[in-house]
Chain A
Amino acid sequence: MSNTARAFQNGKAFIPFVTCGDPDLETTARAVRACANAGADLIELGIPFSDPTAEGPVIQSANLRALRGGVTTDKIFQLVRELRRDVTVPLVFMTYANVVFSYGAQRFMAACRETGIDGLILPDLPFEEKGEFAPVCREYGVDLISLIAPTSENRVAMIAREAEGFIYLVSSLGVTGMRSQITTDLASIVKVIRENTRVPCAIGFGISTPEQARSMAALSDGAIVGSALVRLFEQYGADAPKYVGEAVKAMKDALR
């Protein structure tokens, strides 16, 4: 079993997302430790990208804040190296294809393995294009996480059959960001996923409250929360880790 799949061994998994370097990497390091101490089962580390086409305004702004602060892919690998001295929770990168492509897939995955990154989420790399990185991911033991969307329909089984680590089920249409209601018939998508794979599945996009996290996790194996936490960085800057830790604890408690 891969490290990312292991995140689903402690009941329903809670997965927070943090943009690296927002507002600086020292704050990110404290935030990641706060998430781990608050019971996060897996942590998504966002490598900022200048033009994040799958993100709503909250995470777009976080990306820009981080880039303005001078964060780079190299500095983020250095952060992970330091975090791995004491942080044992599975870590996955979430970024865009060009960040990996530009760094060089071999060099990127080698650095993932060396620093202790367990998986990779690329929202602009659909099933048809995963050959771009999948062979290199496999070579270095990095799980390439598959996304399934409400519009996937006849594609769900195909994607699920080849999934590794966990499946990222996108809750609703549109980009990342908080939503008051999620109306997609996720249960029927999860049913098709279950029929085709034993890889666990977590739901993300639009989840902002412990209640939403609980209902989404009840339908699947876990809940992913991004924008609602990133909003705290926007609000509290370098003081955010404390509030992020509290929010993660509340969400994880709701899942128990």
Chain B
Amino acid sequence: MAGRFGIHGGQYIPETLMNAVIELEQAYNHYKDDPEFNRELTYLLNEYAGRPSRLYFAEKMTRDLGGARIYLKREDLNHTGAHKINNVLGQALLARKMGKTRLIAETGAGQHGVATATAAALMGMECVVFMGEEDTRRQALNVYRMRLLGAEVIPVTTGTATLKDAVSEAMREWTRRIADTHYCLGSVMGPHPFPTIVRDFQAVISKEIKSQLAKLEGRLPDAVLACVGGGSNAIGSFYHFIEDKSVRLIGCEAAGRGVDSFETAATIATGRLGIFHGMKSYFCQDEFGQIAPVYSISAGLDYPGIGPEHAWLHDTGRAEYVPVTDEEAVNAFEYLARTEGIIPAIESAHAVAHAMRLAPEMDRDKIIVITISGRGDKDCAAIARYRGEDLHE
């Protein structure tokens, strides 16, 4: 079946959008192997976004934790400050080839919105970003960045006014206006072909990790860690290691105030199989299938579902998914800042937190790679508030 990962995935969307996703799939299948398309994309990734991103040996952190050697994959150093640009440059280029002149996007933390606004500015396209009203408050700086880049930011007030509602509203907008508009979906979720397209554009992360580590250490890592909301930086970090069975793949979910509380966004830990936002996967929901109002300190992980390929990697046992609480993530956020002089996005801090548990249990000849999916400047005000300090930006 088209676009399935085991039983997950599919195209559970209104009929109005079916020809749009079919057209997108055909265009993608044509351009993904087109040398000219790939030459243009590689040029943008390298010269505009600053790839390849560094794989940095975190020597002080390694020494401090006293176990496995820790490397940081520095997606935070990309232009716009997160891994989101990898996918956006690919999709924007594809949309332009399809003759689209307008990009719409959802955003949680604002990183995908900023990346989409950036690509739209670069390519001379119109851009509208849907963002939960709650998130526009949590991530005010990113709202300003998007407007500065020429995008229109529409605060979404429906439902929980967070990422899931922004996705719903972007899907609604796409059904209103399809002919000139591409929905630049930001994660490995939604209807086929999005989970595959976004994964392919993010797979550059694991491709680089593999060759960089081969040069630095002459071998594969023992574990790769990444945070998971929808799961785009995680699938990008995992993809080229899926066949290397010796490499543990660990996705770190946002547990919010804990998986036993109602204020959590840990989908694998607390969700069950369902159908939502165009895909079959795991979702946080009640006994009648109503989607749960999830919570995490991290706006980017505050989503009640997970991409279908992750659901499948979980089913097959190839990847592990672990919950990390707000408190653990904030501690890791501060720890990495003090120890390595790197302020990670609060999303990425979830992966750092799990590495802090895992590394000391591993031998010193083992290697852990943590993907730092984004930079943490955007989070400073919120973390200060979490610590009881009122910071005015």
Contacts and interface: CB of A to CB of B under 8 A. Distances in A.
A60 B158 contact: yes
A150 interface: yes
B14 to A, nearest CB: 5
Contacts of B17: 151
B12 A124 contact: yes
Interface residues on A, range: 35 or more
Contacts, number: 116
B321 to A, nearest CB: 21
Interface string B9-34: 01111111111100000000000000
A154 B19 CA distance: 9
A73 B14 CA distance: 22
Interface string A42-59: 000000011101101100
B99 interface: no
B338 interface: no
Contacts of A100: 289
A111 interface: no
Contacts of B168: 51, 53
A174 B14 CA distance: 10
Nearest to B19: A151
A174 B288 CA distance: 27
Given A97-B275, A151-B178, A175-B172, A126 B290 contact: no
A128 interface: yes
A125 B191 CA distance: 11
B295 interface: no
Interface in A55-70: 56-57, 60, 64, 67
Given A97-B275, A103-B288, A159-B15, 19 more contacts: A53-B171, A53-B172, A54-B14, A54-B175, A60-B158, A101-B274, A101-B275, A124-B12, A124-B278, A127-B15, A127-B18, A128-B10, A128-B11, A128-B18, A132-B275, A147-B14, A147-B15, A150-B16, A173-B16
Interface of B: 2, 10-20, 158-159, 164-165, 168, 171-172, 175-178, 273-278, 283, 285, 287-291
11 contacts: A53-B168, A67-B290, A97-B12, A98-B276, A102-B288, A124-B12, A126-B12, A128-B2, A128-B18, A149-B14, A174-B172
